[in-house]
Amino acid sequence: MKKVFYVFLSSLLMVACATTEKPKESMNPLLTEFETPFGVPPFEQIQNEHYLPAYQAAIEAHKTEIATIISNTEDPDFDNTILAFDRAGKMMSRISPVFGGLRSANTNPQLQELAREITPMLTAHSNEVRFNQDLFARIKTVYDNREELDLDREQMRLTEKIYNDFARNGAALPEAERDELKALNQQTSMVSLQLGENLLAENNNFKLVLEDEADLAGLPEDVISSAAAEAIQEGLEGKWVFTLAKPSWIPFLQFSEKRELREKLYRGYFMRGDNNNEHDNKALFLELMQLRRKSANMLGYDNYAQYFIAEQMAQTPENVYDFLYQIWEPALKAAKSERDAQQELINRDGGEFNLESWDWWYYSEKLRKEKYDLDEDEIKPYFAIENVRNGIFILAGKLFGLQFERRTDIPVYHPEVEAYEVINREGNHQGVLLIDPYPRPSKRSGAWCGTYRGAGYNEQGQKISPVVTMVMNFTRPVGDQPALLSWDETTTYFHEFGHALHNLFSDGRYNRTGRSVPRDFVELPSQIIENWAGEPELLKEYAFHYQTGEVIPQDLVEKLNKATQFNQGFENTEYLAAAILDMDWHTIPFDEQTDVRSFEDNSMKRIGLIHEIVPRYRTTNFGHIHSTGYAAGYYVYRWAAVLDADAFHAFKESGDLFNQELAEKYRKYILAENGLWEGMEAYVKFRGKEPSIDPFLERSGLK
């Protein structure tokens, strides 16, 4: 859990609200402690009309807590100022994760509409807190005298972080500039909110509806069945519907023999937010960039990238660019080689056309079958979703001694959500894990992990266990057949589970330092877990054929592992192109007349992106940077990939993938003690040295 006004900022884009009818406070479940198993939100009791009055009450309560800190007649010290501020906002910390979680995973038009009402209210309160001069004066007094106080390491970090939060957000600016920055914050939050709503609408509005069975040529039976099931849900029985959810569009591009339909579906995906309609994001995005740049300038930075990266492991935009280019050059070289191999295949098959972006999945799949004799349909039967879930649980048991007990008495927000109690090695309660696996119109695209309550400690020093949620958009089951995951979906499951472990083990004493790590460190715990997914020692524990129960054959495992370096030029190039586009938007000068498409085109031309590859996200559908979390920070996935490859190499070179000594050091320094160490300090304590880029380049076949 982060400091309370950080909760405000991160939740502004995800608030869920309700009608203006105000229920009686005694009937509002959000205004009291949750009387449920393990304090999980009582989702079934929470109605739309509860949200707005709950937030209003939380704001008033927080104002009172801040006033108490300011009016304290004693000299400012750690307990009466820093600790008091860190503990303030308890009600808000209870409500915000519910709003944020539900608006991302199970939204509806009422929640979206009232988010537009709540967002400015929250931004105004956040501004009131962060710019409060009396509060900042007390915090600064403690900060200035921190060396003379008897503070332990975590208390010192808490003091420094809280002071830095205020200073970086403009508390030290002159009054006129503070007022201007408040207005900018208000505008930014609303623009960001609208960008997200437009993208959700674009995702839901596009559908490729097929009526002729001949248009299904080349598609595997499970893909066809899923499309038929989607059509039934859309009221189009007897037809086939393909959507912009990954389990739908990716297999279509991989297997469909209908080139014109592949183009239509892929264009639907990469043109989201760029269709000159009511949900177009070009003008909104440019407005967002202008607001961010102006805010960064007021805070003393040349651009927003400087502002954001100053708090990360990378430290400067120049370091980020240097890092990205180290991978870009070998990745682009590999991608060109992959392109040429696909064009050769097209020519060999008598195709009289040049490879385009919508052809890449189709011909790379053909090449994979040809080169490695590996068929996605051959793999999927061993990765039924229940098997993959069991695999991540087995891994957590082997590394950390965790057990997962399915519970039906724990509240959930949707019938498809699974609830588990997590029990640690000592047999004690560690937390709750909610798993939400399948796509639906009320859920945004992608996969993520969050909390409905972060780990922490109460005023009596008792541990507060976390309530963690994993949200994905995986292939649905069809008829009697379970959901069979692709290899990409399988590794995504492991990835999000890595984030879940981070949340489950977090052990900081304070809200602001509990799971406080740089953004370019936070993907390490998720990405390292992906490495175990394909290891034979673990595969034999979870990869069973859903019909025969047969463990995945060794020859198929060998094919799978040999193919891990296949198409890595594309995988890295499409990602890096998006990461560089993000950096360019947040560093290169522009003005209100800048054409968004031209800026994007020039960015890609500058780095030499081949036209057969489209950036993983284009400007108008780049949800990561429409909100603040990954703005000027999309690079972090590859930065963390260097960390995770080097960290996993430690297990490999030890000769034991489940090495208990390494697992305990990893748990302690990477997952648990985030309150004590900054990113590189924590990594070195685990690894004994700084990371090398070589294991990543070797794993990716780029060296």
Within 10 Å of residue 179's Cβ, how many Cβ atoms?
13
Q: Give the DSSP H or E segment for 210.
A: strand 208-210
CA distance 637 to 633: 9
Output the six-digit token pair for 527: 């990405």
CA distance 266 to 488: 18
Helices 282-298 & 596-607, crossing angle to 10 degrees? 70
- Report CA Rg, the chain: 25
What contacts 630, CB < 8 A, 6 or more positions away? 519, 582, 624, 636
Length of the chain: 703
Q: What is the DSSP string of 481-509?
A: BPPB--HHHHHHHHHHHHHHHHHHH---S
Output the six-digit token pair for 382: 């061993």
Inter-residue contact 92 to 86 (CB < 8 Å) = no
Strand order in the sheet with 418-423: 403-406, 418-423, 429-436, 467-471, 448-453
Quote the DSSP letter at residue 384: B
Q: Phi and psi dihedrals of 661, rounded to 5? A: -65, -45
The sign of the CA dihedral 207, 212, 215, 216 is positive
C-alpha closest to that of 303 among 521, 583, 581, 576:
583
Within 10 Å of residue 282's Cβ, how many Cβ atoms?
17
- The SS3 of residue 551 is strand
CA distance 698 to 702: 6
Q: Phi and psi dihedrals of 183, rounded to 5? A: -65, -40
CA distance 352 to 304: 47
Q: Annotated active-site positions, please?
A: 496
Largest Cα–Cα separation, the chain: 85
Inter-residue contact 358 to 262 (CB < 8 Å) = yes
- The SS3 of residue 533 is helix
Between strands 456-457 and 463-464, the pairing is antiparallel
Q: Phi and psi dihedrals of 318, rounded to 5? A: -60, -40
DSSP H helices in 206-220: none
CA distance 470 to 451: 9
What contacts 48, CB < 8 A, 6 or more positions away? 17, 18, 19, 110, 111, 114
CA distance 174 to 54: 34
CA distance 362 to 358: 8
Within 10 Å of residue 428's Cβ, how many Cβ atoms?
9
Q: Phi and psi dihedrals of 135, rounded to 5? A: -65, -45
C-alpha dist (Å) from residue 200 to 245, 444, 610: 11, 6, 29
Strand partners, 403: 423
